[in-house]
């Protein structure tokens, strides 16, 4: 492994795509391309509206009906003909007979002769012959006859058929992410099912003889399995379905058996640990022999050792992440989130970075893309970010302080206070 060179503007900067000794680091972008190439968009199917929340539409949707579907009242009051109430004034009210009532869900294709009025409730159909609604507050609320003290303008408080949405309009274009507003619109035009790609089923397992399940007692050198929980939660946050298998020891046979048992329910397998260069690196040992999974070193920090490929009869994609919790999480955000987005048809596959002003300064090893933990805030003068937690990839405490990753490019070795940096804001669409 290369040791970082001293940072500074005059420091020698190797090309980001070639490594210092070893020479075989691959770029983050190249590796991401390979990960994306290993997964396919899942086959779409019709699902109930609420199940589709957070997923993109496969096809554009056209309105099957007008909205409003019938001309109706925006107020409780009296439906009138505008010309019958032109002269209504506080000191000289207009008197009209009340010939009926129209209430929401209890109105019909009523008509109303000239010179009359009809009591009407919000959302009820405006009777034929009426063109305006007088709010009840402008009247004496009379039952048989009503006194009207103020004249509405023509069409006031009337919601016209089709003024919001016209039947046949393209309501939502293909690719639209279904959020609350889109779901509300679809329900509002009577569409109860939509075609989306399914949420990927992701089998998550962590490897390591030292690992223990939270709640169990620890031996002298054992650690709790943080990764399978962290990654399963991250799978869910990305909109996919996690199957957390939990801990597998560093035994090749057990690992191989567990994996093949799990394949039936997986659209993607994500493992953590066992991919470095030590003894007992079970993931690498077992999967290297298959010849369908490639282990590489990526020019990033943290997250250098990565593996990608396909396994089993169905050629299920598998991503093998490093074991240090911060490395596993950063790699997940950088490689697995785009893969899941691709499987669900979310565009863009890579979530966009945003620019923020750095508070404090930072240095970064040359030739690697750094993903530093940061705290992102939006203040009156715009977006800011400052480094949070330390640089070590074992620092779970620091990771939980962060809400963003500061992305320092391969050829940048220092960023000064107040300079603009690219940030991946975590737990958000952007
Ligand atoms: P490995 O990649 O298996 O060599 O693991 C690298 C480091 O990450 C070691 O310190 C492991 O103990 C730690 N580690 C591996 N898997 C987990 C896990 N699931 N939860 C917490 N720490 C882990
Ligand atoms: Mg291990």
User: Which of 246, 250, 273, when mutated, tests ligand 1's pocket best, judged by the most ligand atoms within 8 Å of its CB?
Assistant: 273
Tell whether 207 is covered by a domain.
yes
Ligand 1 in contact with 200 (CB < 6 A)? no
Does some domain include residue 430? no
Mutate-to-test residue for ligand 1 from 324, 330, 331, highest number of ligand atoms within 8 A of CB: 324
pLDDT of residue 160: 98
5 close to 398: Cβ distance less than 8 angstroms = no
Shared domain check, 187 and 203: no
By the 8 A CB rule, do 314 and 326 touch? Answer: no
> Are 224 and 321 contained in the same domain?
yes
Last residue of a domain, one of 287, 315, 344: 344
Same domain, 76 and 207: no
Whole-number Å distance between alpha carbons of 63 and 170: 6
Written as tens digits, the pLDDT of the chain (430 aa) is 344 434 333 334 443 333 344 457 999 999 999 999 999 999 999 999 999 999 999 999 999 999 999 999 999 999 999 999 999 999 999 999 999 999 999 988 889 999 999 999 999 999 999 999 999 999 999 999 999 999 999 999 999 999 999 999 999 999 999 999 999 999 999 999 999 999 999 999 999 999 999 999 999 999 999 999 999 999 999 999 999 998 999 999 999 999 999 999 999 999 999 998 888 899 999 999 988 999 999 999 999 999 999 999 999 999 999 999 999 999 999 999 999 999 999 999 999 999 999 999 999 999 999 999 999 999 999 999 999 988 889 999 999 999 999 999 999 999 999 999 999 999 987 7
State whether 31 and 121 are in the same domain. no
Q: Are residues 253 and 296 in the same domain?
A: yes
Beta-sheet pairing, 316-321 with 305-311: antiparallel
* Of 281, 212, 267, nearest in space to 235 by CA: 267
For residue 98, count CB atoms less than 10 angstroms from its CB and return exposed for 0-12, middle for 13-18, buried for 19 or more: middle
pLDDT at 343: 98
Shared domain for 121 and 189, answered yes or no, is: no
With a 6 Å cutoff on the Cβ, whether 366 touches ligand 1 is: no
Residue 376 lies in a domain: yes
Tell me what pLDDT residue 277 has.
85
* Distance (Å, whole) CA 43 – CA 418: 46
Count the neighbouring beta carbons within 10 Å of the beta carbon of residue 184: 10
Dihedral pair phi/psi, residue 410, rounded to 5°: -55, -35
Spell out a b/e string for 308-335, using b for 16 or more CB atoms within 10 Å of the CB, else e: bbebbeeebbbbbbbbbbbbbbbbbbbb
- Do 210 and 335 have their domain in common? yes
Statement to judge: residues 268 and 366 lie in one domain: no
Which residues contact residue 319 at a Cβ distance below 8 angstroms, ignoring those fewer than 6 apart?
35, 268, 269, 270, 271, 306, 307, 308, 335, 336, 339
Residue 91 lies in a domain: yes
**Structure tokens belonging to residue 290:** 């298959």
**What does the alpha-carbon distance between residue 305 and residue 124 come to, in Å, rounded to a whole number?**
65
Per-residue burial over 256-273, b if 16 or more Cβ lie within 10 Å, else e, is bebbeebbeebbbbbbbb
> Which CATH number characterizes residue 184's domain?
3.90.105
Q: Compute CA 276 distance to the chain's CA centroid, rounded to the nearest angstrom.
A: 32
Q: Are residues 121 and 190 in the same domain?
A: no
Asked if residue 355 lies in contact with residue 328, where contact means CB atoms within 8 angstroms, the answer is no
Quick check: CB of 327 below 6 Å from ligand 1? no
Domain that holds residue 382: 354-425
pLDDT attached to residue 23: 59
Number of domains making up the chain? 4
Return the ligand number nearest the Cα of 227: 1
Q: Are residues 303 and 378 in the same domain?
A: no
CA distance 381 to 421: 15
Classify residue 140: in a domain, yes or no.
yes
The pTM is what? 0.90
* Secondary structure of residue 65 in the 3-state scheme: coil
105 in a domain, yes or no? yes
**What does the DSSP assignment read for 112-130?**
--TT-EEEE-TTSBPPBT-
Question: Nearest CA to 79 among 125, 37, 39?
Answer: 125
Last residue of a domain, one of 130, 159, 188: 159
Residue 398 phi, psi dihedral angles, 5° rounding: -65, -35
What distance in angstroms lies between residue 281's CA and the mean position of ligand 1's atoms?
11
- Tell the residue number behind the tokens 């709010």, with chain if given: 135
Three-state DSSP at 292 gives coil
Q: Whose CA is nearest to atom 3 of ligand 1?
A: 273
Which residues are CB-contacts of 366 (< 8 A; sequence separation ≥ 6)?
Answer: 4, 5, 7, 11, 12, 13, 14, 410, 411, 413
Q: Is residue 234 part of a domain?
A: yes
Outline where 189-301 has alpha helix (H): 227-237, 252-262, 282-288
Whole-angstrom distance, CA of residue 278 vs CA of residue 281? 6
């Amino acid at each position: 492994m290369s040791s970082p060179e001293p940072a500074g503007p005059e420091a020698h900067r190797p090309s980001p795509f070639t490594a210092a000794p070893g020479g075989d680091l691959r770029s983050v972008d190249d590796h991401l391309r390979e990960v994306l190439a290993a997964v396919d968009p899942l086959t779409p199917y019709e699902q109930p509206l609420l199940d589709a929340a957070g997923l993109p539409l496969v096809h554009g949707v056209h309105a099957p009906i007008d909205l409003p579907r019938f001309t109706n009242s925006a107020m409780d009051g009296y439906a009138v003909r505008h010309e019958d109430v032109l002269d209504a004034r506080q000191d000289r009210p207009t008197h009209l007979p009340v010939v009926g009532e129209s209430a929401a869900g209890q109105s019909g294709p009523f008509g109303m002769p000239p010179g009359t009025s009809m009591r009407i409730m919000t959302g009820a159909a405006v009777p034929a012959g009426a063109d305006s609604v007088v709010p009840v507050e402008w009247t004496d609320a009379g039952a048989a006859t009503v006194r009207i003290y103020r004249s509405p303008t023509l069409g006031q408080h009337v919601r016209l058929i089709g003024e919001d949405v016209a039947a046949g309009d393209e309501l939502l274009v293909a690719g639209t992410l279904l959020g609350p507003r889109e779901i509300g619109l679809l329900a509002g035009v009577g569409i109860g099912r939509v075609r989306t790609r399914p949420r990927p089923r992701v089998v998550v397992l962590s490897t390591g003889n030292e690992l223990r399940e939270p709640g169990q007692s620890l031996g002298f050198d054992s650690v709790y399995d943080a990764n399978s929980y962290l990654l399963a939660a991250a799978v869910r946050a990305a909109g996919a379905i996690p199957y957390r298998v939990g801990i597998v020891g560093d035994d090749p046979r057990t690992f191989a058996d567990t994996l093949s048992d799990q394949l039936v329910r997986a659209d993607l397998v994500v493992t953590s640990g066992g991919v470095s260069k030590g003894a007992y690196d079970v993931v690498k040992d077992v999967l290297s022999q298959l010849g369908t999974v490639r282990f590489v070193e990526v020019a990033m920090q943290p997250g250098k050792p990565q593996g990608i490929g396909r396994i089993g009869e169905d050629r299920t994609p598998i991503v093998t992440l490093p074991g240090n919790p911060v490395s596993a999480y950063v790699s997940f955000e950088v490689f697995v989130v785009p893969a899941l987005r691709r499987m669900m048809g979310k565009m863009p596959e890579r979530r966009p970075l945003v620019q923020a002003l750095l508070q404090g300064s930072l240095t970064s090893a040359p030739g690697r893309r750094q993903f530093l933990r940061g705290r992102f805030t939006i203040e009156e003068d715009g977006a800011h970010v400052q480094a949070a937690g330390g640089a070590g990839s074992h620092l779970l405490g620091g990771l939980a302080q962060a809400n963003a990753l500061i992305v320092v490019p391969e050829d940048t070795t220092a960023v000064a206070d107040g300079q603009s940096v690219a940030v991946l804001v975590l737990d958000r669409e952007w």
